[in-house]
Amino acid sequence: MLAVTTMSDVVAASDLSMGAVYRYFENKEDLFAGVIADLHESLFEAGRSPVSLQEDPTQHGS
């Protein structure tokens, strides 16, 4: 899908101008890498939160 998607397609699907997209992303591969990095960060944070909220099992019943 990445091969057939153009930056014009990305701009048309967003609320951004072509200039705004190219200000932050050199090309569609750069944009894709940015999306993946953001997704990775979000998943990492989501995975950390529940663990940090759990009680320490070694302290249970002390």
Instruction: For residue 31, give the nearest of 12, 14, 13, 7 by alpha carbon.
Output: 7
Q: Is residue 41 a part of any domain in this protein?
A: yes
pLDDT tens string, the chain, 62 residues long: the values are: 668 999 999 999 999 999 999 999 999 999 999 999 999 998 888 776 655 556 666 776 55
Q: Is residue 7 a part of any domain in this protein?
A: no
Query: What pLDDT score does 61 carry?
Result: 59
The number of distinct structural domains making up the chain is 1
Query: What pLDDT score does 9 carry?
Result: 94
Q: Is residue 61 a part of any domain in this protein?
A: no
Containing structural domain, residue 30: 26-54
Query: What pLDDT score does 20 carry?
Result: 95
8 Å CB contact between 21 and 10: yes
Amino acid present at 44? F
Q: Is residue 17 a part of any domain in this protein?
A: no
Query: What pLDDT score does 62 carry?
Result: 52
Statement: the pTM of the whole predicted model exceeds 0.75? no
Q: Is residue 59 a part of any domain in this protein?
A: no
